Structures are given as C-alpha cells and as structure tokens.
Amino acid sequence: MPSPPTDPTATAATSQVLTFVIGEATYGIDIPCVQEIRGWSAVTRLPQAPADVLGVLNLRGAIVPVLDLRLKFGSANVQYSPITVIIVVSVMSAKGPRDFGMVVDGVSDVIDIAPQDVKPAPDLGASASSACIRGLIPVAGHMVILLDIDLLIGKDFSAAVADDATRAA
C-alpha cells in the first residue's frame, strides 16, 4: 500500500517490485513492466544469438525472445523442467514496446519498497551482469538485488542486432 512520503525531499511513493530467485540470490524488477508469468515451453533457437538468449517463443501470436537470466548471472548448471518459470516483461524502446521473456528459477513475492531505502550497488568491477543492477535493498533479513530491465535488453538484443549490421553487406 503506497504511503505518502513524510520527507518532502523524497522522490516518490513506494513502488512495487516482483522478486524472483536465481540460484541462491533474490532479484527484483518493477511490477509495471511485468506482462505475465508462465511456465517453461520449448523455445526455437536463434542463430548467432548470445549464449544467454535461448531463442524465441510464441506469446499469443507474437514472436518474443527469451533470455536465460541464470546463464547471464553465471549459473553453471541450468535445468529446464516443467517448474522452470519465464517472466515476460515489456520495455519501451524507440521502436515501441518490446517484449521479452526471462527464465528464472522461481518467482517469490511482490513487495513494496521505498526508493530512499535502495542502496547503490557496490562497485564489483564492470562485469556484464553488474551493469544492469540498479541497487540493493534489504528486505526481511536478506538482500534483494534490483535490476534495471532496460539495461538488460538494451545490451543483449542490440548487441545481437549490431553484430548483424557489421556483417559484410
């Protein structure tokens, strides 16, 4: 439930975040960009895609790419079973709304967070995965790593596209 901020310099009311689990860690993304959560289904491979882009899926008639966040964040051993979850998100791009799916181990709760409680991510060196971390927030005793969805997709898909653009025309 959003409560009005008591501090006049606070930037916004609380926002809602969907938390999910990858390996041992808990991550969170803003609720407004979440389209749906679905179970695993077979994905069609895409040639020349980065390793963590598994392929594309038929999402009610649209062709939507699927990214395995577990691979992206360095999990060595990934299984695809009926209980594997895909979170479908939508981001706004210059070309309009773009949807994509993220494979995670499991989905947890929706929590409210206050922007002022978000701590900046420690500088762990510029690794591919750390670039899309917006910040950290302590929730009920453990750390939730907040992700910036736009940075996630911006790098992966535009990298794939740029790759093609540089091939001999």
Under the rule (CB under 8 A), what is the footprint of other proteins? 42-49, 55-58, 61-65, 95-96, 98-100, 157-158, 160-161, 164-165, 167-168
Cβ proximity to other proteins, 93 vs 127, nearer residue = 93
Kindly state the smallest distance separating residue 119's Cβ from other proteins, in Å: 33
- CB 18 → other proteins: shortest distance, Å? 20
> For residue 101, which of 24, 46, 140, 164 has the smallest C-alpha distance?
46
CB-nearer residue toward other proteins: 105 or 156: 156
Q: How far is the CB of 64 from other proteins (least distance, A)?
A: 5
Query: Which tokens hold the place of 26?
Result: 């808990």
Residue with Cβ nearer other proteins (140 or 165): 165
Structure token digits, residue 100: 């994509």
Which is closer to other proteins, CB of 87 or CB of 133?
87
Contacts of residue 147, Cβ cutoff 8 Å, sequence gap at least 6 = 27, 28, 29, 132, 133, 134
Closer Cβ to other proteins, 126 or 161, answer by number: 161
Q: How far is CA 110 from CA 19, 28, 37, 74, 119, in A?
A: 6, 9, 13, 25, 19
Question: Shortest distance, CB of residue 137 to other proteins, whole angstroms?
Answer: 30
Nearest to 35 by CA among 161, 115, 149: 149
- Residue 66 · residue 78 · CB < 8 Å: no
What is the Cα 41 distance to its own chain's centre?
19
Please report, as a single letter, which amino acid is at residue 25.
A
* Rounded least distance, CB 166 to other proteins, Å: 11
